[in-house]
């Protein structure tokens, strides 16, 4: 998976769970963070962020947060990419446990929940939730 047009900024604060204020070339800007989790251990004032310009010019925020630098590595904190990366792994057949399974549907409704993937292999079906890597086998 290639994420293009990235630039770095400095994290300043997080006024709510979907907004981040960052410094970009000595100017304060706001960015959308697609991860409602707390991330308190990662989002520390002064830490480096990877961002990119949003594709929709009419959006309230002009930028998206992609990753944060922590302990010498970039950590992907844009949850929108987690599902895309998992899909690439599944389709590449690099994970033997999912050999033969195909993605039947993304964002599958199951009861009152939405599960990342409905997978199928012959007559078998499997639900896959990427965030927690829980597997549920459907009969």
The domain locations on the chain are 6-76, 79-138
Residue indicated by tokens 């007559």 = 123
According to CATH, the topology of domain 6-76 is OB fold (Dihydrolipoamide Acetyltransferase, E2P) (2.40.50)
Question: Is the Cα dihedral 8, 11, 16, 17 positive or negative?
Answer: positive
**Domain 79-138: CATH class, spelled out:** alpha beta
Same CATH topology for 6-76 and 79-138: the answer is no
Q: What is the pLDDT along the chain (139 residues), one digit of tens a residue?
A: 778 899 999 999 999 989 999 999 999 999 999 877 888 999 999 999 999 999 888 899 999 999 999 989 888 888 778 788 889 888 888 888 888 999 999 999 999 998 989 999 999 999 988 863 334 445 4
């Amino acid at each position: 998976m290639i994420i293009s047009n990235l630039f770095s900024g400095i994290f300043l604060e997080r006024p709510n769970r979907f907004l981040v204020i960052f410094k970009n070339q000595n100017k304060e800007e706001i960015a959308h963070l697609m991860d409602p989790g707390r991330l308190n251990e990662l989002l520390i004032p002064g830490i480096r962020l990877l961002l990119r310009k949003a594709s929709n010019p009419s959006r309230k925020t002009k930028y998206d947060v992609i990753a944060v630098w922590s302990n010498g590595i970039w950590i992907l904190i844009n949850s929108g990419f987690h599902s895309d990366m998992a899909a690439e792994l599944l389709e590449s057949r690099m994970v033997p446990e999912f050999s033969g399974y195909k993605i039947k549907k993304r964002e599958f409704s199951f009861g009152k929940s939405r599960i990342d993937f409905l997978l199928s292999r012959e007559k078998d079906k499997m639900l896959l939730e990427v965030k927690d890597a829980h597997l549920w086998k459907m009969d």
